[in-house]
Structure 1
Amino acid sequence: MSAPEMDPPGATADRQLTVDELAARVGVTVRNVRAYSARGLLPPPRMVGRTGYYGRQHVARLLLVREMLAEGYSLAMIERTLASAPPTASSATLALHRALLAPWLPPEPEITTGAELAARAGVPEQPEVVDQLVELGLVERLDDGRLRVIDPALLMAGLQVVGLGVPPAALITAQAEVNEHVRAIARTYVQMFVDTGWRDFVEAGAPRERLDEILATVTRLQPVAAQAMLAAFRTEMAGEVEAAVETALSQLEEE
């Protein structure tokens, strides 16, 4: 990722822009500005009569939207990236927010139907199973009756498990428990980063020259944490399988 694009000194700090001026400042069309606003990518302008005025926070967001679109991100992914960003954030803050969050976002959501999900799993359609998926936050219902799968990679893994003969309801129950454990693991790793590198960065006044170092750490944290968790999982899984096999063999001998 490139270094955050800073607002030119005085360019928009003390000046409010009309929608035409905003579009010209960032290099997008007025139509796109309105479309981004409708999606919630921009906070509402300050209204004076029937005229909306935009400030530097709108410029910052539009610059980030333009950059992410140029890199191939969809508007849906950009929307998810900006959802938790402060509405008055500067360009540098938004760039840091994007860099910290983007590596951890799941793939692009997938649109499907309950019937299609059942067909892919090779089981009869079961509305109650979809209800459970919605309750877990893995699936969202759209107004037209279709379903939005939040994490297609997780769905694919689930379908493979169902293909092994595990009933969907049993898998969903197990996944809910797994999610709780994974959430605790994620919290542990993130807190470790916050208590070390991030705290030092903030206490130093968030110096711009250390920004690349922080971004590199965040980018590397995901694969390193995933490798460590997978290694630990393999060890624990081997122990659990061994214990289960021993129990099963003991029962066979008794019979």
Structure 2
Amino acid sequence: MVTPGESPHEDPGPEVDVDREMTVDELAARVGVTVRNLRAYSARGLLPPPRMVGRTGFYGREHVTRLVLVREMLAEGYSLAMIERTLASAPVNASTATLALHRALLAPWLPSEPEVITGAELATRAGVPEDPALVDRLVELGLVRRLGDGDLEVRDPALLAAGLQVVGLGVPPDALIDAQTRVNEHVRAIAQTYVQMFVATGWQAFVDAGAPADRLETVLDTVSRLQPVAAQAVLAAFRTEMAAAVEAAVETALSQLQGE
């Protein structure tokens, strides 16, 4: 793993001017990728756009840095979709060290690999008629993304699978989406609470110290352990609150029956 202050690529040597702008062919040769792959990476937004002069794009140091990071992540087993999500919120002009730290901190929290299905397949799995309006609501919720030609990218297949199970219990999809929208708001607040706690108790001191390499592993270990601990705490609290809510609902229902 690359640590702050280290460079993930080899020294280009004294004959290579790393600050000289390059064409797409020169960039591909410089980093050791095919032009076809380079264009594919650009199409997915993995590279910042080049400086255009007429119809010719020119690339610089930041493109070399980003391409090397993409190659490293591919070598570590990341898919292009995972790399895309990891880098989506990274600053375009971030340094190599910053990108590596961003990757290490964000990766444990990303959902599973996206799934591509059609609207018809989604409707079949939900046991309901195909409904573009329903898909529109899922897009607004952020659960799916339209890819064109009727294809949908399910961003969190685990969440979709859970939702389909709820629909299988007889809950109408629209009612479930309404409920999930409210749940997402509460979950967002919970996530912010835990992140603020982490920032206040560990991260800020690390940043104030200049992100020293000898403390990076400790920070990364804390991040990786925070996820399961936070999930367990939230689940335990949810079970307690769910039991209380069910009890109250049952008592209300029984009171209504007795009143009849």
Scaled by the length of structure 2, the TM-score of the pair is: 0.88
Which structure 1 segments of 5+ residues have no match? Answer: none
Shift of the 118–235 alpha-carbon distance from structure 1 to 2, 3 Å rule, reads: same
Deviation at 1:193, TM superposition (A): 1.3
Shift of the 13–230 alpha-carbon distance from structure 1 to 2, 3 Å rule, reads: farther
The 8 Å contact of residues 20 and 30 in structure 1, kept in 2 or not, is answered as yes
Shift of the 17–213 alpha-carbon distance from structure 1 to 2, 3 Å rule, reads: farther
Match of 2:2 in 1: 3
For 2:230, give the aligned amino acid. A
Of residues 5, 15, 19 in structure 1, which corresponds to 2:19?
15
Q: How many percent identity over aligned positions?
A: 77
For 1:15, give the aligned amino acid. D
Of residues 165, 171, 177 in structure 1, which corresponds to 2:176?
171
In the comparison of the two structures, how many residue pairs are matched? 254
In 1: Cα distance, 2:255 partner to 2:56 partner: 79
In 1: Cα distance, 2:11 partner to 2:249 partner: 67
Match of 2:166 in 1: 161
- 1:4-31 CA deviation, whole Å, 9 max, x = no partner? 4515678688632534554344332333
Of residues 216, 220, 225 in structure 1, which corresponds to 2:230?
225
Deviation at 1:46, TM superposition (A): 4.2
Deviation at 1:33, TM superposition (A): 2.3
| SS at 1:37 equivalent | helix
In 2: Cα distance, 1:51 partner to 1:163 partner: 54
Runs of 4+ in 1 over 4 A off after TM superposition: 7-14, 46-53
In 2: Cα distance, 1:173 partner to 1:158 partner: 12
The 8 Å contact of residues 119 and 150 in structure 2, kept in 1 or not, is answered as no
Deviation at 1:234, TM superposition (A): 0.6
Residues 1-255 of structure 1 aligned to structure 2 (within 5 Å): 2-4=1-3, 6=7, 15-16=19-20, 18=22, 19-46=24-51, 52-255=57-260
In 1: Cα distance, 2:229 partner to 2:95 partner: 30
Q: CA RMSD in A?
A: 2.3
In 2: Cα distance, 1:24 partner to 1:9 partner: 15
| SS at 2:145 equivalent | strand
Shift of the 30–132 alpha-carbon distance from structure 1 to 2, 3 Å rule, reads: closer
In 2: Cα distance, 1:203 partner to 1:35 partner: 38
In 2: Cα distance, 1:43 partner to 1:129 partner: 34
Deviation at 1:49, TM superposition (A): 7.4
- Larger relative contact order (CA 8 Å, sep ≥ 6): 2
| SS at 1:142 equivalent | strand
- 1:137-191 CA deviation, whole Å, 9 max, x = no partner? 2122222122222211111000000111111111111011001000111111111
For 1:16, give the aligned amino acid. R
In 2: Cα distance, 1:13 partner to 1:251 partner: 81
Shift of the 185–254 alpha-carbon distance from structure 1 to 2, 3 Å rule, reads: same
In 1: Cα distance, 2:246 partner to 2:240 partner: 10
Shift of the 132–48 alpha-carbon distance from structure 1 to 2, 3 Å rule, reads: closer
Which segment is superposed worse, 63-72 or 4-13?
Answer: 4-13
For 1:138, give the aligned amino acid. L
Deviation at 1:221, TM superposition (A): 1.4
Shift of the 53–115 alpha-carbon distance from structure 1 to 2, 3 Å rule, reads: closer
Shift of the 10–225 alpha-carbon distance from structure 1 to 2, 3 Å rule, reads: same
Which segment is superposed worse, 30-39 or 160-169?
Answer: 30-39
In 2: Cα distance, 1:145 partner to 1:213 partner: 45
For 2:104, give the aligned amino acid. A
Deviation at 1:43, TM superposition (A): 1.6
The 8 Å contact of residues 13 and 55 in structure 1, kept in 2 or not, is answered as no
